[in-house]
Structure 1
Amino acid sequence: MVNCGLVTEKNEPVPLKSISVEVRVQDHVATVSSTLQYVNEEERPLEALFVFPLPADAAVCHFSAKIGEQEIVAEVQERETARDQYDDAVSSGQQAFLLEESEESPDVFRLSVGCLSPGQSAAVTIIYVTELAVQADHSLRFCLPAVLNPRYTPAGLAAGIVSEISSGCGSVPYTLTLSVHVSSPKPISKLESSCTLDPLVFLHSDHTQATVNLSPGHMFDKDVELFVYYQDTHQPSAIVEAGVTTAPSGSLMRHPVVMISLYPEFPEEMTQGEFIFVMDRSGSMGYTRIESAKDTLLLLLKSLPMGCYFNIYGFGSEFESFYPKSVEYNQDTVDEALKRVKEMRSDMGGTEIFEPLKHIYSQPCYPDHPRQLFIFTDGEVENTKEVLDLVKHHAHSHRCFSFGIGEGASTALITGMAREGSGHAQFITGTDRMQPKVMQSLRFALQPAVVNISVDWTLPDGITVDTLSPPINMLYQGQRSIIYAHLKGESSGGSEGTVTFKYSLKDQPVTNQLHFCLKPTEETGLAIHRLAARTLIRSLEQKERDGGSKLESIRCRIVELSVQAGVSSVHTAFIAINKDCRQTVKGPLLQRRVPTRGTAYGFLSGPRSAQPQAPERAKPKSLPGRLHLSLFNNDCRISRSRRKDRSLRRINEAPIYCRDPIVASHQANSQDKQRDLLLQLVSLQKASGCWELDATLADVFGKTEDELTNQKPAQVDGSVWATLLALIWLYGCKIEQQVEWQFVAMKAASWIGSQKVGDLSQCVCVGNVLLGCHVTKETLGF
């Protein structure tokens, strides 16, 4: 195994000594401060590169470095300006630090550390703010990534630095300390973790503030996950944050910002609908992707409710549909569709999506069956705006759920179709499994449509509000919406504001109202302002990707917001220069690596560049004879400067498996076999929701047909017994994949309920013994 990261000429690691993390959770957001201590134990100055992951929606808002007793704090500047300053500083012997977001992947950052003297140590502090994701059990999840998982690199191209750093082995060579402070308008119920924690300590009797620490001795070889549980989860909440009095008048940072958290609860019910699945069958889909798509279509078809309508389209340079128009869902139509799904190939040429969409929209909708469009594609199209305009024009008659497959999928197309079609977008990359993400979207599609969404503000005289978040076009059970708004002016008396949230569900108006105090919350640290700025920046970045005539003004606005709020963006970087430290740098800086067992917190140092002048920039003030090896170029060519080397390839996360090749192979085969058993069971289910008692079903359970038949209770028939066993097996053996089979199970439970079976409890007990499970009758949904 080749060690990765930074090692000395004697193959000894240049260690990251320690990581200290402080997390402050406020309602639905977190501020994370990480301090990393490392040292140069080489005999020559180093320029190190440090690559690390962050949540995709995080906003880096502070970066500083302390060398000895001296601390230098970075400033946010336009990216190219910051790079030039960094190059000039390092070339002249000054210590400099450059922190920037990957141009292709916003969840990956890179830190360049210039001219760290022999024997010198440095403590780098990075602070970021992020929204916390809501989980299925209503908790909020915070994750501190321990690894930057191996990322996909297309065949024929050299692996990038991210893949190299993440493929090491051995023990983690540094320590981790973690402390968490939680505060919220709602009482805190509990806090759980995937790691061992010290006891939770409440700071107030109302349980609105608490602290907890990671227990000592934690080996940082896996992600640290924290789950925060609040009481009254679905009640809306608000946090008002004061602005900075020294900021320019009228600017975002000058005035208060309010964050409204909305997490509405809808009735758990499935609706009838028309489901149209549009599958990219262009040549770029290839064997692996099209096979995964076929498995996904199997799950989708088996999960649809009786009485709905469906159709399947395939497109490439041309398109075809299984049926001239959507057909009613029954056993015959499902059997025919699944037969044609098995025959699907990625053999239809290019990626032209406009015509099949146009054809679908020309078909009349079925009354009382809302149209739900599922679009799968792995490519980009040249007429993105035309496609989005088409979806928007028909937004009144359907919801659009879009899925981008692989790294080449156009974010503008995928997110745009979901946005214009009031649906939901998903990206399936690398070794991500398609089925869980698609079934999550199906859960949304089966919910009643929420329409006529409005947010209205009532504020005292003298106070005006500017909503910073994009309009809410969609609401789904289990999804939370966060609204940021800018409050300006001075109140003439009132100290309370009101936000009224209205929508219609199944033709019934629903109103939620939240009263909140306009007095700012103490000690927020500008987290709300910075996330509000990040929201605006992300919207502008999306407009920039969509193209248009105002790209330069959009870019200038992004830079202005980023610099003003002190948060990261694709067009800015954090730059810190220790101008008091000048030293002569002698000799080339050779490439070094550090073994970190897949850790993201790895270093890479590289020699400097002094090659012939490139046309796009002036020649840097580098020393003669010093070369920079570009590890960020796809072909690893010797590069003249850093300018084109800074971006990281958009490469996907993949799970970390055992590094032993024999064990790893066994794990992979075992997992594939288990997945095949699940798909085999699903494929055997009838459209009504039941299973038949036969040898193929018994084979899934590892039994014979006689074993199943001999244990069948006398009071139930074969189909009821088979369906009950299938449910027990799903809940007892496949609970970790429940998101994939939840609707299959709901149909089965509903079917059993319609059969008026006598003593189900005794049947469940016998089934548990037969299959070696421990599932209760209540768990099965009866």
Structure 2
Amino acid sequence: MQIYGLCFIVEQEIKPIPLQNVAVEANIVDMIAEVTIIQAYKNIEKDTIEALYKFPIYEAAAICGFEAEIDGQRKVKGIVKEAKEAAKEYTEAIQEGHGAYLLESESEEVFQCSVGNIISGQTVVIKITYVTELKHDSESEKIRFVLPTNIAPRYGSSEYSSSSNDGKILNPDIVSYSNKADFYLELAVTCRMTSTIQNIESPSHKISTEMNIDGNPKISKITLTEQITYLEKDFILVVKSKDLDQPRAFVEYNPEIQTNCIMLTLVPKFSLNTTISELVFVVDRSGSMNVEPMKKAAQALELLLRSLPEDCYFNVVSFGSYYDSLFPKSELYSETSLSKALNLARTMKSNYGGTEVYNVLEWVFKNSRDDMPTSIFLITDGEVWNVDQIVELVSKHEEEKNDDLRLFSLGIGDSVSHNLVESVARAGKGYVQFVTNDERMDKKVIGMLKNALKPPIKDYNITWTEVNLLDEKELDMTPIEVDKPTISFMSDDNMEPLSPPPSDIFTDIKVQQAPYIIPPIYSGVRFIVYCILEKNIEPCKVITLKATSQDGPMKLDIPLDPVTLQGSKIHRLAARKLIQDLNDEKSFIHKHPKNANKHISDSLVKGHIIKLGKTYNLASKYTSFIATDERNNESLSESQIIPQKREVPQLIASYASYASYRDMDDLCSYSMSSVMVKSLLANSENLVEESPQASRQEVNVFHIEPNIENLFEFLGLQSFDDGFNNFKQEIEKELSELSEKEIEEILTSCIAIAYLKIVMFDDFKDECEMCYEKAEKVFKKMIGNNEKEKIIIEKAEEWIKNWVILMTRSCGQSGQSKIL
């Protein structure tokens, strides 16, 4: 029997689940968003019940607010306590008949909300608030807001158990999955930007956008135009605003703790020379990749392969429950190796079973080259449980190779595990990009390849204060205060109090940079760093960022915004980064020179996370929100019976069909026959006769807009060295000293260059650029004469313009919608 939606079976009987509605209110200010999730529960059963509900949060988000409203009459606000203590209070409140509400972290991106003792007929509204920094989209001046709504099934099993979950009330492996959810999502987003909002779009959902609110071009409101279930797929919003990429530094003053926190952000644009590299493409072919994600992954791989420089080494590794590689070791990029790789990309299917990421990465690390830098591209949906072990593996090998190993992640699909792809990219000193099933990925993929081919920037340093307190000589070695649990007079259970840190470990710092180790800076990728200053410490008027590259020193001065913000949002984002550092063992405690070669205990790390959680009101691995609604005697008598649990089911995508998506004409395997080429040339000659003025005046090309399929068709025509064989033209007189074969290769290459420049550059310059540069490099090498190069390219561009005009006419007469 198939059960749908808000149902739960008790003793063969279908019972309703009390989650009635989910609403989301989001406020976006430049590159920060504050989001409130509102969940309405109503008990329509005769018994008192307890509802357990899981929901996803973007892994960089900081949950900072939790409250419950009961029957629209009273509110209780959650406070942050150590997770074990919060769970204990919740259990006791339930047993005593009071209302209790608990928010716990199951993982970095999944939280569980427990709503206890909902009396028959009672309505409880839970509000959860979090703040998050926003990603830079692949286009300039754009930010990307993601609202995760789908908890994808994870391959393997949860690491939590009754003995390892630190006393939490978690049920990580018993969530009921269904194919439908009967409650709907209400969404309202308000954008307030520093500069004019130029465009708003959603690649995931249909939206209604109201621009120029109250005549202000910097404010917009967005709502959904369709009724969707809350667990359908992630909601994505892309906002374009003027000057959003410019370097900026803000300072926020938190009056509660009387500290300043600085946020430094920019989207850098710089150029460095490339270096000879090894590139390994690790492609997820597990069942969860299904049809569309697998198709996206294969297209990404083909574009990457065609854009590689001639002097690199590369390999392709497929994985699922098992893995295999195209080559035993990475091979030099050649016509033969490229042909094998393209054939693999065109025949990929998601038929490798489960998702075992650890083993394939371990093999890649062990078999990487030692004589050049290695860049790994992990293309996956990331649906695994053992993220911590994978991150530890990546960190270990990245440190061993000492900046000669980087890992970049490409998250594919509508329900990617942000935790995995973000974490491994962070540990591998790369970065991550996400592509849904309905999004273009070409610009993101090419941008990532360009950055991977450039040597890493090193020796980062940011000057936050007049005196560099990050490297202060006189260090305060005062141990952190650790809260001790209360011991009951009526319980002889052994309690494990947190042990104080060793007295010789430096734990107190006046300037807390977050993250402590400055993340790598890549061209076109948003860079954000925070710094919390101790009370009475003032920031510099100008924040200075320095680094060293292979091509020389780098420096940027960013004036601090003169307006001091008031509040706690930036502080909380910084604290979330500090907690992330502690979890990743990259914090100042782990990495400060004064603590080199010293053992950092788990209890010390836990103590710092708990302190951060309590200070900044954040849910974390070791802290939870707890709220209780103490009831009077009459209400207690109604709720004395131990409540029955109801687990709200999560939506799961159907993986029933893994049919091949390659049985129709594949764009990337398209080939042009010599007959077709000769036909095009013949038409071109006729066209020139009809338009004698074309060669003597500026040709204004009006053509049907190209789409990305045009690019894939065109790339499919290229041989390894970018020639279009069997192509002849009248310029042989310019190259009379060369053989027929050499002339053919030169002419076909120049046509490729002209086509990319004239037809594709307007819409797909970033995607084409590396193929264009490679073709141009080969062309110049073949000619070796600047004057002849110029003449031939001009003739090629003229031919392409005329050909476009001809094809546009032809398409117009036949009703076709594209040039190729």
Give the one of 306, 309, 319 matched to 2:310. Answer: 306
| Paired amino acid for 1:46 | I
- The answer to whether residue 135 in structure 2 is matched with residue 125 in structure 1 is no
Instruction: Name the SS of the counterpart of 2:573 in structure 1.
Output: helix
Aligned to 2:430: 423
TM-score (norm 2): 0.65
* Matched-pair contact (CA < 8 Å) for 1:13–1:594: no
Aligned to 2:677: none
Give the one of 524, 540, 550 matched to 1:478. Answer: 524
Give the one of 534, 540, 551 matched to 2:576. Answer: 534
* Matched-pair contact (CA < 8 Å) for 2:283–2:316: no
* Matched-pair contact (CA < 8 Å) for 1:283–1:349: no
Residue 540 (structure 1) shift: 0.9
Give the one of 182, 190, 196 matched to 1:180. Answer: 190
- Cα distance change on mapping 1:280 and 1:43 into 2, 3 Å: closer
Instruction: Name the SS of the counterpart of 1:583 in structure 2.
Output: helix
Aligned to 1:636: none
Give the one of 448, 451, 456 matched to 1:444. Answer: 451
- Cα distance change on mapping 1:50 and 1:448 into 2, 3 Å: same
Aligned to 2:112: 110
Instruction: Name the SS of the counterpart of 1:485 in structure 2.
Output: strand
Aligned to 1:503: 547
Residue 72 (structure 1) shift: 0.9
1:510-529 alignment, distance < 5 Å: 510-517=554-561, 520-522=564-566, 524=567, 526-529=568-571
- Cα distance change on mapping 1:458 and 1:214 into 2, 3 Å: same
Instruction: Name the SS of the counterpart of 1:225 in structure 2.
Output: strand
Cα separation, 1, equivalents of 2:24 and 2:420: 38
Aligned to 2:668: 678
Give the one of 209, 212, 222 matched to 2:221. Answer: 212
- The answer to whether residue 136 in structure 2 is matched with residue 142 in structure 1 is no
- Cα distance change on mapping 1:64 and 1:203 into 2, 3 Å: same
Deviations 1:139-197 (A, max 9, x none): 1122334x4254245599xx98787445216xx5456252515243x454444444433
* Matched-pair contact (CA < 8 Å) for 2:546–2:554: yes
- Cα distance change on mapping 1:211 and 1:304 into 2, 3 Å: closer
| Paired amino acid for 1:539 | D
Residue 471 (structure 1) shift: 2.5
Deviations 1:228-262 (A, max 9, x none): 322223311122221233x4xxxxxx411111112
Residue 130 (structure 1) shift: 0.7
* Matched-pair contact (CA < 8 Å) for 2:50–2:646: no
Residue 763 (structure 1) shift: 1.9
The alignment-based identity, stated in percent, is 25
1:42-191 alignment, distance < 5 Å: 42-68=45-71, 69-103=73-107, 106-138=108-140, 139-145=142-148, 147-148=149-150, 150-153=152-155, 164-168=176-180, 172-174=182-184, 176=186, 178-184=188-194, 186-191=195-200
* Matched-pair contact (CA < 8 Å) for 1:395–1:422: no
* Matched-pair contact (CA < 8 Å) for 1:352–1:381: no
Instruction: Name the SS of the counterpart of 2:565 in structure 1.
Output: coil
Aligned to 2:496: none
- Cα distance change on mapping 1:536 and 1:80 into 2, 3 Å: same
1:243-392 alignment, distance < 5 Å: 243-245=254-256, 247=257, 254-267=258-271, 271=274, 273-277=276-280, 299-310=303-314, 322=327, 327=332, 329-335=333-339, 351=359, 357=365, 360=368, 362-363=370-371, 365=372, 372=375, 388=395, 391-392=398-399
Aligned to 2:464: 457
Structure 2, unaligned runs of 5 or more: 159-170, 471-509, 591-597, 671-712, 728-743, 781-788
Cα separation, 1, equivalents of 2:394 and 2:30: 39
- Cα distance change on mapping 1:759 and 1:343 into 2, 3 Å: closer
| Paired amino acid for 1:178 | A
| Paired amino acid for 1:579 | E
* Matched-pair contact (CA < 8 Å) for 2:391–2:427: no
| Paired amino acid for 1:51 | K
Cα separation, 1, equivalents of 2:285 and 2:122: 55
Cα separation, 1, equivalents of 2:35 and 2:124: 20
Residue 11 (structure 1) shift: 6.3
Aligned to 1:763: 803
Residue 480 (structure 1) shift: 0.9
- Cα distance change on mapping 1:324 and 1:85 into 2, 3 Å: closer
* Matched-pair contact (CA < 8 Å) for 1:277–1:311: yes
Give the one of 18, 22, 45 matched to 2:25. Answer: 22
| Paired amino acid for 2:575 | A
Provide the aligned C-alpha RMSD in A: 5.8
- Cα distance change on mapping 1:231 and 1:684 into 2, 3 Å: closer
- Cα distance change on mapping 1:27 and 1:586 into 2, 3 Å: same
Instruction: Name the SS of the counterpart of 1:43 in structure 2.
Output: coil
Residue 485 (structure 1) shift: 0.6
* Matched-pair contact (CA < 8 Å) for 1:102–1:108: yes
- Cα distance change on mapping 1:527 and 1:728 into 2, 3 Å: same
Aligned to 1:2: 3
* Matched-pair contact (CA < 8 Å) for 2:379–2:409: yes
Aligned to 2:485: none
| Paired amino acid for 2:560 | F
| Paired amino acid for 2:637 | Q
Aligned to 2:515: 469
Cα separation, 1, equivalents of 2:307 and 2:49: 57
Residue 274 (structure 1) shift: 2.2
- The answer to whether residue 694 in structure 2 is matched with residue 687 in structure 1 is no
Instruction: Name the SS of the counterpart of 1:689 in structure 2.
Output: coil
Give the one of 571, 574, 583 matched to 2:637. Answer: 583
* Matched-pair contact (CA < 8 Å) for 2:279–2:375: yes
Residue 565 (structure 1) shift: 1.1
Instruction: Name the SS of the counterpart of 1:762 in structure 2.
Output: helix
Cα separation, 1, equivalents of 2:648 and 2:512: 49
- How many correspondences in the alignment? 661
* Matched-pair contact (CA < 8 Å) for 2:212–2:220: yes
Residue 116 (structure 1) shift: 0.8
Residue 293 (structure 1) shift: 9.0
Residue 574 (structure 1) shift: 1.1
Instruction: Name the SS of the counterpart of 1:678 in structure 2.
Output: helix
- The answer to whether residue 603 in structure 2 is matched with residue 552 in structure 1 is yes
- Cα distance change on mapping 1:594 and 1:742 into 2, 3 Å: farther
Instruction: Name the SS of the counterpart of 1:85 in structure 2.
Output: helix
* Matched-pair contact (CA < 8 Å) for 2:394–2:428: no
Aligned to 1:629: none
Instruction: Name the SS of the counterpart of 1:114 in structure 2.
Output: strand
Instruction: Name the SS of the counterpart of 1:514 in structure 2.
Output: strand
* Matched-pair contact (CA < 8 Å) for 2:326–2:341: no
Structure 1, unaligned runs of 5 or more: 248-253, 600-653, 695-713
- The answer to whether residue 240 in structure 2 is matched with residue 229 in structure 1 is yes
| Paired amino acid for 1:574 | F
Residue 331 (structure 1) shift: 2.1
